[in-house]
């Protein structure tokens, strides 16, 4: 099909909804999310305005590489402000299966003692649950000189290649053999000048974690610059690494002989902050996002301004007033307005689903262009069934015409971000909705039903 073709209201009969397998219990890791069991769903009574204050949890995409990085230390590492979500729990189980000691010291702080590591082979049943299992490759390679990795799991949102990871490892001196598992072996890692063939977040993180203990200097070009990559750099530096250029596309890493333990606080999740802005806009509510990562919200706030959503910055808080024009800004020259994602600091790909559902309640027409993942837009058929006017032009582009009167319905969460978008739609819709496969949402959003109820939402979790 040509890229410019339009297949309108595409229904994806073969949609792959990925559930979260029953969690294996760890002796010392207890997470409330994992005790809620079964195949639950959310029952939502929509059409109610919300109000109140909500605080973003720790950044999921910073927490997962940070947990992986603890394996590089010669002493215990304590991470604060970890989100209590399924993906974090699974990453902790992976660490424990490798021999690390893991313990929660309070509601959001975990200490990892990596001194008991005994293997460089990941548990396949755990690795297939999350994409972040691939982040253990760099630390294991640096610690053991080898890593055995089953194919990682994660959201089914399109092609998610691993070639950039292997390119970086190869440049550092490793040999990679792909089969039923990935075998990565390096007698000695040596620093190199590496140009990544794409600014992949996880590949940048893996290259960083391997390079900090490599011999000599590594120059990592075309590196990802996302807030979670910056967090990882700051953590590694706190552990004794020498990384310069943090926040830029070129990172200079001077290899060191070893890393020490430390205490480090994970930053607030800018994706959660953006999700709550979308929630306020769709439900016509006044919500204050407390302690928001203001420095990481420029592109997000700009995108919502295109949708007619204005936010007020008050210190470290973002206030979204209930009274919004929700009128899509016209482009000069008569062009159809658009929101599109891109590598940081552009609008985050993880917020395109939220922007799209917000657009269904705004006056006008807008193109939402998801450039990075070709399956992320397929959830739009569920919004169409709820009454939205959306034309899915191809796997990357959807035209939204609003505002639409949304009706409650029965839907299934296909991935973390689409699941949150559907939950927001249900809260803004008339009548009752049931959302299945909510384990996907809970992989990325901590106690989301409890936090929404605190804002006045009528939402119940049913087993």
pTM of the model: 0.88
Bridge partner residues of 366 (DSSP): 400
By annotation, the residues acting in catalysis are: 155
Within a domain: 217: yes
Point out the domain boundary residue: 205, 230, 265: 265
pLDDT at res. 17: 31
What distance in Å separates the CA atoms of residue 342 and residue 345, rounded to the nearest whole number? 8
State how far the alpha carbon of 232 is from the alpha carbons of 100, 167, 212, in Å. 20, 20, 12
Residues 51 and 76 in one domain: no
Point out the domain boundary residue: 265, 285, 317: 265
Residue matched to tokens 């658009």: 338
pLDDT at res. 215: 97
Residues 103 and 192 in one domain: yes
Residues 372 and 438 in one domain: yes
Radius of gyration over every alpha carbon of the chain, rounded to an integer in angstroms: 22
Residues 244 and 379 in one domain: no
What distance in Å separates the CA atoms of residue 327 and residue 308, rounded to the nearest whole number? 5
Residues 231 and 133 in one domain: yes
Nearest to 209 by CA among 315, 118, 137: 137
Residues 100 and 202 in one domain: yes
State how far the alpha carbon of 82 is from the alpha carbons of 302, 338, 385, in Å. 28, 34, 36
Secondary structure percentages of the chain, helix, strand, coil, to 5: 35, 25, 40
Within a domain: 124: yes
Within a domain: 25: no
Characterize the bridge pairing of strands 175-178 and 182-185.
Answer: antiparallel
pLDDT at res. 5: 37
Contact 417, 353 (CB under 8 A): yes
pLDDT at res. 38: 55
State how far the alpha carbon of 84 is from the alpha carbons of 92, 170, 449, in Å. 11, 35, 13
**Parent domain of 236:** 60-265
Point out the domain boundary residue: 243, 265, 287: 265
pLDDT at res. 182: 87
pLDDT at res. 367: 97
Residues 46 and 95 in one domain: no
Within a domain: 20: no
Residue 135 is encoded by which pair of tokens? 């982040």
> Could you tell me where the DSSP H helices lie in 307-462?
352-359, 380-385, 416-428, 439-442, 448-454
Within a domain: 351: yes
Residues 398 and 321 in one domain: yes
pLDDT at res. 153: 63
pLDDT at res. 179: 78
Contact 44, 458 (CB under 8 A): yes
SS3 80: strand
What residues contact residue 353 under an 8 Å CB cut-off, 6+ apart? 376, 379, 417, 418, 420, 421
What residues contact residue 121 under an 8 Å CB cut-off, 6+ apart? 147, 148
Tens place of pLDDT for every residue, the chain, 463 residues?
333 333 333 332 222 233 333 333 333 344 444 444 458 999 999 999 999 999 999 999 999 999 999 999 999 999 999 999 999 999 999 999 999 999 999 999 999 999 999 999 999 889 888 888 999 999 999 999 999 988 776 444 344 568 899 999 999 999 998 878 889 999 899 999 999 999 999 999 999 999 999 999 999 999 999 999 999 999 999 999 999 999 999 999 999 999 999 999 999 999 999 999 999 999 999 999 999 999 999 999 999 999 999 999 999 999 999 999 999 999 888 889 999 999 999 999 999 999 999 999 999 999 999 988 777 888 999 999 999 999 999 999 999 999 999 999 999 999 999 999 999 999 999 999 999 999 999 999 999 999 999 999 999 999 8
What distance in Å separates the CA atoms of residue 456 and residue 463, rounded to the nearest whole number? 22
Neighbours of 188 (CB within 10 A): 10
DSSP letters along 287-337, please? Answer: EEETT--GGG-HHHHHHHHHTT---EEETTEEEE-S----BPPPPGGGPPP
pLDDT at res. 181: 84
């Amino acid at each position: 099909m040509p890229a410019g073709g339009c297949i309108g209201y595409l229904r994806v009969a073969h949609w792959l909804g990925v559930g979260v397998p029953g969690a294996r219990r760890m002796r010392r890791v207890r997470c409330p999310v994992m005790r809620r069991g079964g195949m639950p769903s959310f029952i939502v009574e929509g059409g109610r305005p919300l109000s109140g204050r909500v605080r973003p949890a720790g950044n999921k995409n910073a927490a997962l590489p940070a947990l992986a990085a603890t394996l590089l230390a010669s002493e215990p590492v304590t991470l604060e402000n970890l989100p209590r979500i399924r993906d974090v729990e699974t990453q902790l189980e992976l660490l424990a299966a490798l021999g690390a000691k893991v313990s929660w010291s309070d509601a959001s702080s975990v200490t990892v003692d990596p001194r008991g590591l005994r293997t460089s082979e990941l548990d396949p049943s755990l690795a297939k649950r999350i994409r972040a299992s691939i982040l253990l490759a760099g630390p294991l390679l640096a610690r053991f000189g080898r890593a055995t990795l089953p194919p990682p799991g994660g959201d089914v949102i399109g092609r998610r290649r691993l070639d950039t990871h292997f390119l970086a490892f190869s440049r550092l001196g490793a040999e990679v053999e792909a089969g039923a598992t990935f075998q990565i072996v390096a007698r000695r890692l040596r620093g190199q000048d590496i140009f990544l063939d794409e600014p992949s977040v996880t590949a940048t993180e893996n290259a960083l974690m391997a390079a900090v203990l490599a011999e000599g200097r590594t120059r990592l070009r075309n590196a990802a610059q996302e807030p979670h990559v910056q967090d990882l750099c700051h953590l590694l530096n706190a552990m004794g690494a020498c990384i310069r250029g943090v926040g830029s596309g070129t990172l200079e890493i001077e290899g060191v002989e070893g890393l020490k333990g430390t205490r480090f606080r994970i930053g607030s999740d800018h994706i959660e902050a953006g999700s709550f802005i979308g929630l306020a806009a769709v439900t016509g509510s006044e919500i204050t996002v407390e302690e928001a990562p203001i420095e990481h919200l420029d592109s997000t706030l700009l995108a919502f301004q295109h949708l007619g959503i204005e936010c007020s910055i008050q210190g470290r808080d973002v206030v979204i007033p209930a009274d919004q024009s929700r009128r899509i800004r016209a482009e000069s020259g008569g062009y159809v307005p658009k929101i599109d994602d891109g590598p940081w600091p552009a609008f985050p790909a993880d917020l395109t689903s939220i922007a799209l559902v917000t657009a269904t309640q705004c006056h006008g027409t807008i193109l939402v262009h998801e450039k990075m993942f070709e399956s992320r837009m397929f959830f739009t058929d569920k919004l169409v069934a709820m009454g939205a006017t959306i034309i899915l032009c191809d796997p990357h582009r959807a035209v939204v015409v609003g505002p639409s009167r949304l009706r409650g319905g029965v839907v299934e969460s296909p991935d973390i971000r689409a699941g949150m978008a559907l939950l927001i739609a249900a809260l803004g819709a008339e009548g009752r909705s049931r959302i299945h496969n909510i384990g996907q949402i809970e992989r990325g959003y901590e106690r989301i039903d409890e936090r929404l109820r605190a804002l006045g939402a009528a939402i119940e979790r049913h087993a």
